[in-house]
Amino acid sequence: MKKFVFIFFFLFPLAVPAGISAQTLPVKPNIVFILADDLGYGDLGSYGSTKIKTPNIDKLAQGGSKFSQFYANSGVCCPTRAAFVTGRYSRRVGIDEIISISGTSSQKGLAASEITIAELLKSKSYKTGIIGKWHLGHQTQYNPTLHGFDYWYGVWYSNNYNGGQIPLMRGTEVIENPADLSMLTHNFTSEAVNFINQNKNIPFFLYLAYTAPHAPLVAHPDFAGKSLDGTYGDVVEEMDWGVGQVVAEIDKLGLRNNTLIVFASDNGPAIANAPQGGSAGPLYCGKGTYYEGGIRVPFIANWPGFISSGRTVDKIGAIFDLYPTFAKLTGAALPMDRAIDGQDLSSVIFGNGERPDDDIAFTWLSKNKAVIAGKWKLMTQSSGGQTWMAECGMVSNPQMLFNLASDIGEKNNLSSQHPQLVSFLSNELTAAQNSLNQPGNQPPVANFSVSPGINALTVNFNAGASSDRIGTVSKYTWNFDDGTSSNSKEVSHTYSANGKYFVTLTVEDNLGLTDGRLYELTMPLSVTASPTPPATKSPTPTSPAGKAGDANGDGKVDGLDYVVWLNNYNKTVTTGAAGGDFDKNGKADGLDYVIWLNNYNK
């Protein structure tokens, strides 16, 4: 019964235009995910480009939030796309390389046993469509219409296959062969607009996967020669036009306040194709590698009234995180018979929370390549396995450690200065690999809080926030970076001197899988000197008195306040309205939701 009440309150307040009563609220939001192909981190105006004009995508960023540290799940397209549609590491899915048009990999594709995001949303009565590039197998059994998508218009694979002579599909039928590459962006855009129009009265999920700006670059005549960055810029500006057409249709139909729009790229720019490749901006290298230029990508989320406008989010995230995030937004239950490696980003996108698990691993052809934990990154090899990316340089270092906060261009290898971090992150990579050998088990998530102890050199650590979606956390191992450790869930530790310490927690579940979390501690502990401790929910600042339903103190009652209430739903609250307890009865419950709803947008 408790679960039923939670779902009721979660689904109904997602979109509340002013003046609409609770009885007429839409039950589920529409979701549009737009994925570019080989777009670089520095190829959008909102990410620093001065040569390429992208006003429509930039407008989404201005009216929503852009992420500065968001990752594709691979340095190339197929693994990232597999991770997105399944919410799982691509190696777990069996697509850990590029699916070619011939050779051994040409027989690979998405297994029927995988539960795609489309299938998950169909369980909540969504109409699902993919328009554009699939590239998760081009045999008949891999057709996206057999994997939960009600509609497909697009191409099987990249537009450079077979010398650019590729078929254009609608469902299971070839409708043009070869496809006119100069018309693909226009055709994809037109089909997307039609899909939205045809499904305007029901919840829909649209996966719009442009082939642009993947080479070969062929711009539509209306855009050819128009940009300041050659044909590459022409193609990107045409794609931006397409995004603008899609958003305009959503606006015209009055669906904007009930539609989440997300934009990203599948990997970094193909700089090896210069001048037909893009720009990684301040990042090093590009597509095919696991340097930042190959995997850090633009990411923009827009939903008026629910996502703060003009915000830059510096929290970590990855494309496979969209699977559990979309599931939570729609009330779809995650499958419990398999690991879902992505993490729910709701509290990050809609508030000021943290990604539940602070690290993301990267593999290529079953080999560990890199792991990122917040600002720290460990690389085991410089290349992603692509010989055509050799211009980024091969190094003799078996491991490279970078502080991405101070060295976004990955120029300074700090592995010799911080051997304890190298050891910890190496263990994290090993743990990620080990989890792939237990297909029915979900690795735990390490998390803990930090608070001052009885004196200036004493700190209290509490691992109670650690969790395990499928199993149970059975073991806790602390390393305090001063030669001491502990196996307690909660521990009070006293340091002998002031200084900086890298505190780590490793948790183990009942089947032997592990996960770790890193925390940089500065002693003596103070609010200003120490980093923000890991959190699983959004912070709740004090709300001004007299504004019922305003949890975050910004003077408005909007979707961000709802997220605060949701994160604390059915929990004891000691901070009053700042924790979603608007009637101050010590609990965030349904009565508080009614207060929020009655004051929404006022």
Spatial separation of the C-alpha atoms in residues 586 and 575, rounded to whole Å: 8
pLDDT in tens, 377-424: 999 865 544 544 455 765 556 789 999 999 999 999 999 999 999 999
Spatial separation of the C-alpha atoms in residues 573 and 258, rounded to whole Å: 30
- Lowest-confidence region among 70-79, 136-145, 151-160, 536-545: 536-545
- Confidence check: pLDDT of 16 > 70: no
- When pLDDT is cut at 50, 70 and 90, the band that residue 12 belongs to is very low
- When pLDDT is cut at 50, 70 and 90, the band that residue 437 belongs to is confident
CB 58 within 8 A of CB 49: no
Report the percent of the chain where pLDDT is more than 90. Answer: 72
The yes or no reply on domain 540-602 and CATH 1.10.1330.10 is: yes
First to last CA, the chain: 32
- Confidence check: pLDDT of 173 > 90: yes
- Confidence check: pLDDT of 439 > 70: yes
Q: What is the 3-state secondary structure (H, E, C) of 360-389?
A: EEEEECCEEEEEEECCEEEECCCECCCHHH
**Would you name the residues annotated as active-site residues?**
77, 135
**Average pLDDT for residues 492-506, to the nearest whole number?**
96
Helical pair 77-86 and 322-330, crossing angle rounded to 10 deg: 30
Which two structure tokens, joined as six digits, stand for 265?
A: 């790229």
Spatial separation of the C-alpha atoms in residues 523 and 501, rounded to whole Å: 8
What is the reported pLDDT for 577? 81
* Tokens 């490696």 belong to residue: 341
Pairing state between β 317-318 and 311-313: unpaired
What is the reported pLDDT for 543? 38
- Confidence check: pLDDT of 4 > 60: no
- Confidence check: pLDDT of 488 > 80: yes
The yes or no reply on domain 362-523 and CATH 2.60.40.10 is: yes
What is the reported pLDDT for 40? 97
Domain boundaries, the chain: 2-356, 362-523, 540-602
What is the reported pLDDT for 575? 76
- Lowest-confidence region among 168-172, 435-439, 595-599: 595-599
CB 110 within 8 A of CB 136: yes
Radius of gyration for the alpha carbons in the chain, expressed in angstroms and rounded: 24
Torsion of CA 349, 564, 536, 33, to 10 degrees: -20
pLDDT in tens, 456-465: 999 999 999 9
CB 119 within 8 A of CB 323: no
- Confidence check: pLDDT of 268 > 80: yes
| Assigned CATH topology for domain 2-356 | Alkaline Phosphatase, subunit A (3.40.720)
Which two structure tokens, joined as six digits, stand for 343?
A: 């993490």
Helical pair 55-62 and 230-252, crossing angle rounded to 10 deg: 50
pLDDT in tens, 295-327: 999 999 999 989 999 999 999 999 999 999 999
Tell me if residue 243 falls in helix, strand or coil: helix
| Top-confidence residue, 382 or 290 | 290
- When pLDDT is cut at 50, 70 and 90, the band that residue 240 belongs to is very high
Report the percent of the chain where pLDDT is more than 70. Answer: 87
Which two structure tokens, joined as six digits, stand for 300?
A: 């923009």
What is the reported pLDDT for 8? 30
What is the reported pLDDT for 598? 66
pTM of the complete model: 0.84
- Lowest-confidence region among 288-292, 376-380, 543-547: 543-547
What is the reported pLDDT for 36? 98
- Confidence check: pLDDT of 579 > 90: no
Strand partners, 478: 486, 505
Spatial separation of the C-alpha atoms in residues 75 and 294, rounded to whole Å: 5
